[in-house]
Structures are given as structure tokens and as C-alpha cells.
Structure 1
Amino acid sequence: MKIGLETESMHLWFQNQRMDILGFIDFAHELKCDGVMINIIKDFGLDEEWGCLGSDEPSHLQKIKQKLDEYG
């Protein structure tokens, strides 16, 4: 069985700009999770369109991909 962490579990951190998606991926890795699930919803303090993901800009998505690849 593999265990993942969903961004909703840290929603208050995201909403109050105490965490971003890259920090969340680091946090999940520190907890030894096997993966992450990214919630893309409109909510207070989050990106209007992309929620916890933050953006669909290619450079942003590339940073996310690099970090995920780094952690396997």
C-alpha cells in the first residue's frame, strides 16, 4: 500500500500563505509519504483558478515536476 498526503490536510497553511505547493511536497517527503494529491478548488487565500497548485505557468509546473522527480 502507498500513502499520500492531500493538500486539504494543510488547507489553513495554504490559505494563510504559510505553505505553497513546493513546501507541501517537501513536507510530505519529510513524513515519508509516497505521493501527494493536489486539491484544485477556489477558496479563501488560494489561487482563483488553480487552488493549492498556485498556477499553471509552465515554469511553475516544471519546478513541481522536478521536485516530484527528485523524490521519486
Structure 2
Amino acid sequence: MSYRIDFAVLSEQPSHCRFGLTLHNLSDQDLHHWTLHFSIERYIESDTVTQGQLQQVGSFCSLLPNQK
């Protein structure tokens, strides 16, 4: 399986920033039961995540897809 992650800062202010993250599945196989783990130095307000569920402890984040 092959994947690509695009991360872009959409806007940055002294008190907050807005960014976009896109996971691309480059393989012919469907992706099931996945979680993306990453680290970021900013607090993410979980209610601002539009595609998935976010859990954050310190700088460690786990992003789970929405269940269909």
C-alpha cells in the first residue's frame, strides 16, 4: 500500500492557526480500520475537525475517520 499526506497551513494568527491535512490512498486497495498518529506543538480544538475524530494528549494526536 502506498499513501501520501499533504499538510498545509491555511492561516496563522498569534493566538491560533488553521491548517488542512489530506490523506491520499495511492494504492488500488481500500483503506479500512486506520488511525493516523502525529505530533504537533499546537492545541487542536477537536470540534473544528470536519472529517474524523481527534484525540490529543499534549502534542501527540490520533485522528480516526468518521464511521459510515
TM-score (norm. length: structure 2): 0.31
Which is higher, the Rg of structure 1 or of structure 2? Answer: 2
Structure of greater relative contact order (alpha carbons < 8 Å, 6+ residues apart): 1
